[in-house]
Amino acid sequence: MMKKVYQNAQMVWVWFGLAEKQERIPEAIDLLPKILVASEQTPQYFSGPRTAEEMKFVKANNLNLGIRYNFLNDSYGLNHIQPDVWSAVMHIMDNPWCHRVWVVQEAALAKDIAFLCGEHRIEFTLLRDVVCSGLVHLYILDTEGRRVDFNGRNSEYVYYARKLVQDRVASTTLRTGPVELSKIAGWVAEHQDCRYAQDRVLGVLGLVDEKFLTQIGDALQTYMGDYSSIAELYTMFTEYLLTNINAQDISWWWWLNQVFTYGRNKDLPSWVPDLHQQAEKYQCRPHRDMMQVRQQGRLLYKASRRHAKGRLGPGSGELTLNGTIIDQISYVHAQQPTYPQDVLSADSSYANLARKIRYIIDMVSWEKTVAEISVHCTGKRDGHDQSKGTQRKCVTMDDYWRTLLADITKQDGATFTYKTYTDFCTIYRKATHTMSTYDIAERHAAGIELFLGVDEEKQVRSVNQEMQNGSGAQGFFTCLAFLQDRQLFLTENERIGFTLKGVQEGDLVCVFNNAWVPHVLRRANDRESEKYRFVGDAYVHGLMYGAADEMDLEVRDITLV
């Protein structure tokens, strides 16, 4: 019913409520065109290396090395504006109205839409253009010298959904079908709020063209009034999408990759996304899945180009894909040290400095152990009997250091090589040895000021300077955070890779036909016949660019439960 109401309405007025600093709303509205001009002049991607001046500024302000910033000058009229005004701007740009699941349908279907904040009208097109611009790249300081934080709740997805739907409303040939529904449902699952898990599905069905809605089938239509099993609803919804989107389409794999989150509903099949657990806190960091790993907007990997076939069954809650099981995991490395969320903050207290130092020490120690086990075959493998005298299988150094970076050897204008890795080892191992020798982390944690002799002080300053000089070694260390929510493993056939935390020895490396990346599977021992469950998407060195298609291995049906 609400779908028809919104479709037939000439105008939908959205009430943004009253801002905490409501008297500043007129000034905030006047700033929107200036913000748009500034953000439009900041390119989303940068091809050239950072200048020395830019690198110095980024480090001095503890900024994200993965983002290029537009250091605004006063010509935009955005610097040195009072915090109260920026508070009003944020009330408009990231209003709680935009966070709710059901407003996506409201905003997408209306013929026209406008916003009101108190008595002040805000034009939809202006606010849409501002919110959807490259705000994260702006570096603006308020009158108190604090940076204006544009990292909001991703309100732009409400506007993306409206554009996608309205483009099809205006077209005589395009329709909002399964592909579009999968995109919107994915956005809603990750960025919108709702109390009831079923709303993740029910709140988006109204966006689909009637022609496609009827194809969802009698089972889902009958289920509409019975919310006793969220797992059943999510499974039916995913079955509809995967059987109505071509398995050769990237959208098919994009939807399937939504399963790789933590905290999933245990009643769901391993191939069905938990749409109520897609928020950032459930995702892998820094990339939620391996299909998100891109350079200049381009997907980096394509594990297979063979024709894919996906079908439901043979049993209930099962999905059968064709692919190749290539290898078996023989050893799983210890997880990377926990990445402290405030390690990059500007907090210069003794306690925070201690956390930073301890993190560096633990990370360098972890990497050294991983290298000893993986490459040098000298480290002790926990849980493995070293007395049996079996031939240990190790990987090459080239495979190893590239895997640590997911084979991304060009980042932020820098090129990483084997020498970069050896520089990292030399500089950081020397530095952490010095830190440990003088108990620097422990003394900072206790709030004790360092008093060192002249020679010791010189040595500490020297290693600190080597770590912080913007060298490739520093960049290599920063990139190790790529693995913070993933776990490295070795295989029977001397491969190295990583997947989601929780991978186990005996798990299998698989490349499905037309998959963008390999996957790790686990045998479902609770099933009578040969079935598998997803463990995670994976990076496996040597299998990322179509090598599996050239192997003389059987392509067979693989059933997931």
DSSP characters over 450-488: P---HHHHHHHHHHHHHHTS--HHHHHHHHGGGGTTEEE
Which amino acid, residue 150?
Answer: F
**The dihedral of CA 270, 271, 277, 279: what is its sign?**
positive
* Residue 246: φ, ψ to 5°: -65, 130
Pairing of strands 519-523, 532-537: antiparallel
pLDDT at 398: 97
Q: Is the peptide bond before 518 cis (omega within 30 degrees of 0)?
A: no
Which residue ranges make up each domain of the chain? 2-159, 284-336+485-561, 350-483
3-class DSSP assignment, residue 443: helix
Helix (H) or strand (E) holding 536: strand 532-537
The partner residues of 498 in beta bridges, in order of sequence, read: 488, 539
pLDDT at 545: 97
Residues 6+ apart with CB under 8 A from 48: 413
pLDDT at 126: 95
* Contact between residue 233 and residue 292 where contact means Cβ atoms under 8 Å apart: no
Does residue 388 carry a pLDDT above 50?
A: no
Cα of 98 vs its chain's centroid, Å = 21
Helices and strands in the chain, H and E counts: 19, 18
As a whole number, the mean pLDDT across the chain is 85
Reported as a single tens digit per residue, the pLDDT across 105-132 is 889 998 899 999 999 999 999 999 999 9
**The dihedral of CA 155, 160, 163, 168: what is its sign?**
negative
Give residue 221's pLDDT band: very low, low, confident or very high (50, 70, 90).
low
Does residue 561 carry a pLDDT above 90?
A: yes
Give residue 79's pLDDT band: very low, low, confident or very high (50, 70, 90).
confident
Does residue 466 carry a pLDDT above 50?
A: yes
| Residues in the chain, overall count | 561
- Per cent of the chain over pLDDT 70 is 78
Which among 407, 410, 480, 477 is positioned nearest to 49, based on CA atoms? 410
pLDDT at 45: 40
Reported as a single tens digit per residue, the pLDDT across 140-196 is 888 988 888 886 667 899 999 999 988 887 887 777 788 999 999 999 999 999 999
Torsion, Cα 400 401 404 405, to 10 degrees, reads -130
Torsion, Cα 247 250 256 262, to 10 degrees, reads 170
C-alpha 496/C-alpha 402 separation (Å) is 10
Reported as a single tens digit per residue, the pLDDT across 290-316 is 988 877 667 889 999 999 999 998 999
- Mean pLDDT confidence for 279-293: 89
Crossing angle of the two packed helices 83-93 and 25-40, in degrees rounded to 10: 80
- Mean pLDDT confidence for 416-442: 84
Residues 6+ apart with CB under 8 A from 427: 463, 466, 467, 471, 473
* The pair of three-digit structure tokens given for residue 147, joined into one six-digit string: 């940076």
Residues 6+ apart with CB under 8 A from 421: 401, 404, 476
pLDDT at 294: 78
pLDDT at 534: 98
Place of tokens 């991983």: 370
Furthest-apart CA atoms within the chain: distance in Å: 80
Place of tokens 């479902």: 524
